[in-house]
Homo-oligomer: A and B are copies of this chain.
Amino acid sequence: MKEKLLCGVDLGGTKLSVGLVRPDGALVDKVVVYDHTEKNEEGICLQIRDMVHDLFEKQHIGEDHIRGVGIGFAGHLRFAEGVVITTSNFPRFKMKNFPIRQMVQSHFGVPVVVDNDANAQSYAEFLFGAGSAYDTMIFLTVSTGIGAGLVLNRRIFRGMTGTAGEFGHTIVNPHSDIRCGCGNYGCLMSHASGLALPQIVRKRLKQGAETTLPITDSTPINGQFIKQGLDAGDPLCRSVVLEYADYIGIGLYNLFQIFNPPVIVLGGGLMNWGSLYFERIKKKFYTLAGDMLYDPIEIALAQTGGDTGLIGAAALLLEEP
């Protein structure tokens, strides 16, 4: 083995994936579990250790064959300390002020780094995906939540605590009556995230929006549901997709005015809504930017696919110091 592998850990509220990744971004092998949320914080760290060791056995390698362990985590972190500040992603418990890096590090002799999942995904796109031709790239993930990753001059910009890029919480409609989980009204996340879909769809129904779908109070309204309705030609789903696109277009425009980046990469589950959605996002962006766009900007879809969280977590180990 010429080059050491990278070990990536994608720790989410639903799924825990551990994988071995080559320095060129190719996934070698992975293991996935869904029962980690049954455990407590330390239990999860032990589970990560065991999953890494399982991969070692499968691949007939040892710790000396990996460069380190990178963890992508869905929640707020103190990056320098590797401490989870808080997350509401685990249904059974709230991880609060948990020194996750130190805990995982205690099980390994190689370096462990931890960052939030949006930063990890953005770094995967920057190194191996749609941002790889640039030195600066803004990544926007539109999924259950909305978050940005800021790769500025080849480095992830993290800010004071490590929470830079929380673009989903920026206020884009101060007179909105739609409240986000953060407690504020009118942030981007309250208007254009997966999390907001039930609230927005039910509001439109109350306002008399037409739909061909049998939506009851217990219908689970998520991105997949909207996608199916969109494909079936449902007018309500179509109008929600266009409204969401306009807000994301505003988000892209705001990112453009702030960062003047050469590329913005869009990832996350809602990007699966397809071309109607993506084209409308771009249309809104270009309408707003008008003649203020002096150089071409690339608006691209993420390329690193379903394992982007894992590959990005591993890629964190490649960040230049």
Q: Bound complex: CA of A157 vs CA of B272, how far in Å?
A: 33
Q: Bound complex: CA of A192 vs CA of B166, how far in Å?
A: 23
Copies in the complex: 2
A19 at the A/B interface (Cβ < 8 Å)? no
Q: What's the dominant secondary structure at chain A's contact region?
A: loop
A residues 283-321 touching B (CB-CB < 8 Å): 288, 290, 292, 294-295, 297
- Residues of B near A292 (CB, < 8 A) are 163, 166, 169, 182
Q: Bound complex: CA of A222 vs CA of B163, how far in Å?
A: 38
A residues 115-162 touching B (CB-CB < 8 Å): 136, 148, 150, 152, 157-162
Identify the stretch in A47-55, A172-180, A213-221 within 8 Å (CB) of chain B at 4 or more residues. Answer: A172-180
**Does B253 lie within 8 Å of A163, measured CB to CB?**
no
**Does B290 lie within 8 Å of A164, measured CB to CB?**
no
Among the listed B164, B170, B247, B260, which residue makes an inter-chain contact with A164, where contact means beta carbons less than 8 Å apart?
Answer: B260
- Residues of B near A152 (CB, < 8 A) are 152, 157
**Does B166 lie within 8 Å of A257, measured CB to CB?**
yes
A269 at the A/B interface (Cβ < 8 Å)? no
**Does A161 lie within 8 Å of B259, measured CB to CB?**
no
Q: Bound complex: CA of A227 vs CA of B260, how far in Å?
A: 34
**Size band of the interface chain A makes with B:** 35 or more
A78 at the A/B interface (Cβ < 8 Å)? yes
**Does B260 lie within 8 Å of A159, measured CB to CB?**
yes
How many whole Å from A238's CB to the nearest CB in chain B? 20
- Of the A-B pairs whose beta carbons lie under 8 Å apart in the complex, a sample of 24, sorted by A's number, is A76-B294, A136-B159, A136-B160, A152-B157, A159-B260, A159-B261, A160-B260, A160-B261, A161-B294, A162-B260, A163-B292, A164-B258, A164-B259, A164-B260, A166-B258, A166-B292, A167-B257, A169-B257, A170-B254, A171-B250, A173-B173, A174-B247, A182-B292, A184-B288
Question: Which A residues lie at the B interface, using CB under 8 A?
Answer: 76, 78, 85, 136, 148, 150, 152, 157-167, 169-175, 182-184, 246-247, 250, 253-254, 257-262, 288, 290, 292, 294-295, 297
List of 10 A-B pairs having minimum Cβ-Cβ separation, nearest first: A159-B260, A164-B260, A170-B254, A166-B257, A169-B257, A160-B262, A163-B260, A171-B250, A161-B294, A161-B295
